[in-house]
Amino acid sequence: MQLGIDDLAFATADRYLDLADLAPVHGVEPAKYTVGLGQDRMSVAAPDEDVVTLAASAALPLVERMSEQDRASIRTVLLATESGIDQSKSAGVYVHRLLGLPAAARVVELKQACYAGTSALQMALALVARNPEQKVLVICSDVARYDVGSSGEPTQGCGAVAMLVTANPRLVAIEPVSGLHTTDIMDFWRPNYRTTAVVDGRLSLRAYTDSLSGAWADLQAQGGPAFADIDTFVYHQPFTKMAVKAHAHLTRLVGAPRDAEVMDAQIADSLRYNREIGNSYTASMYIGLVSLLDHATDDLAGSRIGFFSYGSGAVGEFFTGVVQPGYRDHLRTAAHRRLLDDRTRISHAEYSAIVAPVNPVDGGDHEVPASTRNPFRLAAITGHQRLYERSA
C-alpha cells in the first residue's frame, strides 16, 4: 500500500512588497536580491492575518472538495509553525473550528523551525499506515520576520500549505526511507520575548549545507535511492538561491557531472512560487513542491522527487516521493496563479506601517480593523482571547 500526499494547496498574503522598493532603502542594487538571493517579491501579512488565518485559507479548498464522509475521516490535524500565536493552545484548534471539521479529531502544533512540517508529514504517514481508512490534515503556516534594516529583511515572506495525507494518494507517494541529521547549533532562532528572528547569516548557510551532507549520508546508509535515481529536487528555500547552492553542493558531494543545464532543469520549476512569496519557513519546501507540480511541462508521473527539509537549530531530513499517474487532474494551478497575480503591490511606506509595531496584537482588548481580502481574519482580541472570523 502506498501512502502520501493526496491533495495540496497553498495560501499567502493578499499584498506584497517588490524588492526593488526595498533595495534603495538598504542602499543596494535590486540585483543583489533578484540575482544574489533569487527573490523578486515578498508577501506581507495584513495586520489582521496570522498563522491561523493563513493556515485556514490554505486548507479551505481541500476541505471544500471533500464529501462530508471524507471530512469525518480527518481524525488528526497537525499544524507546523515557528511563528505561533500562543505558548499553550495549538493554532490548529482554531483552524479546526474555522474549517468546520468534526469534533472527533486530535489536533496538535509542532515546532522545530522550518523543519516541523516534515515531522508532521512523517507522523501523518505513520498514523495512516496504522489505519489506512483515516486521513490526516497537515498544515504548515508561517510569517517570516527579521529586524528592519537587517540582512535577513529581504528574505521575509509568509504563506501556508495544506496537505491531505492518505493511503493510495493521488499526487505523491512518499517512500519509507529517510536520511536524518540533527545537531545543536545557534544559526537562527527566536526567543520567546522577540517577534523577529535572531540569525547568524553566514553560519546559517554553512549549517544548511552541513545538514544536507549529513542527511544525504544517512539516506545512503539507510539504503535510500542513489542520486542518479532521483529526477527532480525540492529544497527548503529561505531564498531561492539557497536551493541552487544546495543542489550544487549535493551534486559536488556525490561527484555527479556538473552540467548547468541539467542541474537547472532538476530544480528550476520548484523555485517559481517562492521567488514571488519569500520565505514561509515551514511551508517553504512544500510551496516548492506545489510549484514543481504546477509548472512542470513534462508529465512527471512515475518520476522520483528528492526533498531536503531543513530547520535551523538544526534538523535536516532528506526523503523521496514518487509522482502518481493522473496527478495533473487534481492540481490547482490556475487558483494558485490567481492568488499571486491578485495580490496588491504595497509601497515601502505601507510595508513599514505594517511591520513597525513590535507587538501589534498584544495588550488590552481591541478590535482589529478589517484589512485582508483572504477568507479568514483576526477580528479582535478580547480578554486575551483571539477572535477569528470568516471574512469572505
Q: Select from 44-52, 88-96, 236-244, 323-331 the region that touches ligand CAA (CB under 6 A).
A: 236-244
From the list 181, 236, 247, 336, the catalytic residue is 236
Is 146 annotated to bind ligand?
yes
Beta-bridge mates of residue 308? 235, 318
Of 12, 119, 141, 155, the one binding ligand CAA by CB under 6 A: 155
| Residue corresponding to grid cell 476541505 | 63
Here the cell at position 247 is 543542489
Cβ neighbors of 39 (< 8 A, separation 6 or more) are 19, 33, 154, 155, 239, 240, 241, 274, 275, 278
Of 10, 16, 188, 319, the one binding ligand CAA by CB under 6 A: 188
CA 181 centroid distance within chain: 20
Of 80, 164, 242, 263, the one binding ligand CAA by CB under 6 A: 242
Helices (H), the chain: 23-26, 30-31, 51-64, 68-72, 91-98, 116-130, 201-221, 240-254, 260-267, 272-277, 284-295, 333-341, 348-355
Q: Select from 24-32, 72-80, 213-221, 334-342 the region that touches ligand CAA (CB under 6 A).
A: 24-32
Q: What is the pattern of x (binds ligand CAA, CB under 6 A) and - over residues 101-120?
A: -------------x------
The Cβ of residue 380 has, within 10 Å, a number of other Cβ atoms equal to: 15
From the list 49, 114, 181, 317, the catalytic residue is 114
User: Residue 153 catalytic?
Assistant: no
> How far apart, in whole angstroms, are the C-alpha atoms of residue 283 and residue 55?
10
Is 135 annotated to bind ligand?
no
Q: What is the DSSP string of 55-81?
A: HHHHHHHHHHTS-HHHHHTEEEEEEE-
Is 245 annotated to bind ligand?
yes
Q: Select from 133-141, 149-157, 221-229, 378-386 the region that touches ligand CAA (CB under 6 A).
A: 149-157
Q: What is the dihedral of CA 314, 315, 316, 319, to 10 degrees?
A: -170
205 is an interface residue for ligand CAA by CB under 6 A: yes
How many residues touch ligand CAA (CB under 6 A)? 25
Q: Select from 27-35, 172-180, 300-308, 363-371 the region that touches ligand CAA (CB under 6 A).
A: 27-35
Of 236, 304, 332, 343, the one binding ligand CAA by CB under 6 A: 236
Residue 379, SS3 per DSSP = strand
Closest residue to ligand CAA, judged by C-beta, is: 36
> How far apart, in whole angstroms, are the C-alpha atoms of residue 391 and residue 371?
10
Tell me whether residue 4 or residue 313 sits nearer to ligand CAA (CB atom): 313
Residue 296, SS3 per DSSP = coil
Cβ neighbors of 157 (< 8 A, separation 6 or more) are 12, 42, 43, 144, 274, 277, 278, 279, 280
Here the cell at position 183 is 545537531
Of 10, 286, 307, 310, the one binding ligand CAA by CB under 6 A: 310
User: Residue 82 catalytic?
Assistant: yes
201 is an interface residue for ligand CAA by CB under 6 A: yes
> Would you say 139 and 55 are in contact if contact means Cβ atoms under 8 Å apart?
yes
Tell me whether residue 11 or residue 114 sits nearer to ligand CAA (CB atom): 114
Tell me whether residue 94 or residue 310 sits nearer to ligand CAA (CB atom): 310
Tell me whether residue 310 or residue 327 sits nearer to ligand CAA (CB atom): 310
Q: Contact residues for ligand CAA (CB under 6 A)?
A: 29, 31-32, 35-37, 114, 151-152, 155, 187-188, 199, 201, 204-205, 208, 236, 238-239, 242, 279, 281, 310, 312
Which residues make up each annotated binding site for (3S)-3-hydroxy-3-methylglutaryl-CoA?
Answer: 146, 245, 279
Q: Which residues are the active-site residues?
A: 82, 114, 236
